[in-house]
């Protein structure tokens, strides 16, 4: 439908090419129509009445018959490594699930002879987590599969899976690498935030900030960082800092106290604005759930679907066979594929910490100063 609309627009503008005002009106009108056709509903999919299948004509280069053809392999994209430093949660359905955190018990006090012990108390806080569906669909004409003698569309199906994995990497990164979370960590003070670029000295400051944290009652939290989470641009710097026997930045060749103390994990979606390159420290998720990533039970990751066929083969005697999704729609021959994932996070503090479950499990440096 969109291709037809574009053709009509081109003809109309050609017929009125001497009238600039008229051409501008025509372009504005057809842009509005195109936006209407591209509007999606609340679930993120095109309304069925407006879906448009890809046809052979959409791939003129691939389907042009030449003597020698080949399809290049798809890109190997940099994958996020968030599964190591985030806390894995599960929920049974789409309802909000509640999680609770308790404070530590009171410190003991002197009890003299025949004296009753002072009462202690424990406070509790509540937070909620939930999941949502995220999906995208694509339609092909049956002729594309029939004419695909190189198996190119197997590659496209794999690209759909790649797209879902890239989305999950971006989704998880945005739970902590965002302005609201960063502002909240800054507000918590120097034990949660720094400005230093990634150097041995600044990493030591961040390590000590982690080690000197206390809970709401002033008790020392015995948690140390485990993961250094960085954008790929800091990969070489991080390796040099954590693998060198000596402090690389010091001419005196002092012993490097951070060697081997942290594991490097890369997040390709951390927002950078060179020369400002942020980096993070995370505690092991088993110690403190800094960021929770929530799945629905039975849905551990992205899934690919094909629409069930509504065209059933029939014999001359009236016998019915089994449908094949590759045969496409009964009416049009269209083949519909969809990729979907169900994922979520903390959802009750979106205006402050966004997706951070417990700030005691994370440290943020803006990387703005030496």
- What DSSP string describes 176-209? HSSHHHHHHHHHH-TTTEEEE-S-HHHHHHHHHH
- What separation, in Å, do the N-terminal and C-terminal C-alpha atoms of the chain show? 56
Residue 133: inside a domain: yes
As given in the structure block, the two tokens for residue 199 are: 């150097």
**Distance of alpha carbon 141 from alpha carbon 152, whole angstroms:** 14
Indicate whether 137 belongs to any domain. yes
pLDDT of res. 226: 96
Distance separating alpha carbons of residues 327 and 331, to the nearest angstrom: 11
Instruction: Find the range with the poorest average confidence among 20-29, 175-184, 214-223, 248-257.
Output: 20-29
pLDDT, mean of residues 137-146: 82
Residue 276 has pLDDT above 80, yes or no: yes
Q: Which pLDDT value is given to residue 358? A: 94
Looking at the 3D structure of the chain, how many domains does it have? 1
Q: Is the pLDDT of residue 1 over 80?
A: no
Domain enclosing residue 191, as ranges = 1-13+50-370
| 255 belongs to a structural domain | yes
| For residues 69-98, average pLDDT | 84
Does residue 73 carry a pLDDT above 80?
Answer: no
Task: With a cut of 80, say whether residue 151 has pLDDT above it.
Answer: no
Residue 266 has pLDDT above 90, yes or no: yes
Task: Reply yes or no on whether the pLDDT at 311 is more than 80.
Answer: yes
In a domain, 27, yes or no: no
How confident is residue 63, by pLDDT bands cut at 50, 70 and 90?
A: low
pLDDT of residue 105: 83
pLDDT of residue 243 exceeding 80, the answer is: yes
Averaged confidence pLDDT in the chain: 83
pTM for the model stands at 0.77
**pLDDT above 80: residue 69:** no
Q: What is the mean pLDDT of residues 102-128?
A: 87
Most confident of 76-80, 184-188, 349-353: 184-188
Reported as a pLDDT band with limits 50, 70 and 90, residue 42 is very low
Looking at the predicted structure, is the pLDDT value of residue 44 above 60? no
Percentage of the chain modeled with pLDDT above 70: 81
Burial class of 256 by CB neighbour count within 10 A (0 to 12, 13 to 18, 19+): buried
* Residue of higher predicted confidence among 164 and 31: 164
Q: What is the pLDDT of residue 93?
A: 94
Residue 292 within a domain: yes
Query: Is residue 205 predicted with pLDDT exceeding 60?
Result: yes
> Does residue 34 sit within a domain?
no
Say which CATH number the domain at 107 has.
3.30.2400.10
Beta pairing class for 193-196 and 362-369:
parallel
What is the predicted pLDDT for the residue at 47? 47
* Residue 198 forms part of a structural domain: yes
Tell me the pairing of strands 292-296 and 87-91.
parallel
**Cα–Cα dist 185/309, whole Å:** 52
The rounded percent of the chain whose pLDDT value lies above 90 is: 46
DSSP symbol at 52: -
Judged against a pLDDT cut of 80, whether residue 148 lies above it is answered with no
Residue 50: band (very low, low, confident or very high) from pLDDT cuts 50, 70, 90: very low
Q: Assign 49 to helix, strand or coil.
A: helix
In a domain, 361, yes or no: yes
Range of lowest pLDDT (79-88, 114-123, 236-245): 114-123
pLDDT at 40: 42
């Amino acid at each position: 439908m969109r291709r037809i609309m574009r053709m009509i627009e081109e003809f109309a503008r050609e017929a009125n090419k001497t009238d600039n005002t008229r051409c501008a009106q025509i372009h504005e009108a057809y842009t509005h129509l195109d936006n209407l056709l591209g509007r999606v509903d609340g679930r993120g999919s095109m309304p069925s009445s407006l879906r448009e299948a890809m046809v052979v004509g959409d791939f003129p280069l691939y389907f042009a018959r030449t003597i020698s053809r080949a399809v290049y392999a798809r890109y190997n994209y940099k994958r996020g490594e968030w599964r190591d430093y985030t806390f894995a949660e599960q929920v049974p359905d789409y309802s909000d699930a509640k999680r609770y955190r308790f404070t530590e018990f009171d410190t003991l006090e002197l009890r003299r002879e025949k004296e009753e012990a002072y009462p202690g108390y424990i406070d509790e806080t509540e937070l909620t987590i939930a999941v949502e569906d995220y999906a995208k669909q694509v339609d092909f004409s049956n002729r594309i599969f029939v004419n695909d003698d190189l198996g190119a569309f197997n590659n496209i199906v794999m690209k759909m899976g790649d797209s879902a994995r890239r989305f999950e990497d971006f989704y998880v990164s945005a739970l902590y690498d965002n302005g609201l979370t960063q502002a909240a960590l800054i507000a918590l003070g120097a034990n949660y935030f720094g400005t230093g670029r990634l150097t041995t000295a600044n990493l030591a400051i961040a390590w000590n900030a982690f080690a000197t944290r206390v809970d709401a009652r002033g008790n020392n939290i015995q948690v140390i960082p485990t993961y250094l989470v960085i954008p790929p641009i800091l990969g070489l710097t991080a390796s040099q800092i954590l693998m060198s026997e000596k402090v690389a930045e010091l001419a005196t060749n002092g012993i490097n106290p951070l060697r081997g103390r942290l594991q490097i994990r890369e997040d390709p979606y951390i927002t950078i604005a060179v020369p400002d390159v942020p980096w993070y420290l995370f505690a092991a998720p088993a110690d403190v759930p800094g960021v929770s990533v929530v799945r629905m039970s039975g849905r551990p990751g992205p899934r690919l679907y094909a629409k069930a066929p509504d065209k059933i083969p029939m014999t001359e005697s009236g016998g019915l066979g089994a449908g094949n999704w590759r045969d496409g729609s009964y009416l049009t021959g269209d083949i519909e594929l969809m990729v979907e994932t169900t994922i979520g996070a903390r959802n009750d503090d979106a205006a402050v910490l966004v997706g951070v479950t417990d700030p005691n499990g994370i440290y943020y440096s803006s990387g703005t100063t030496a």
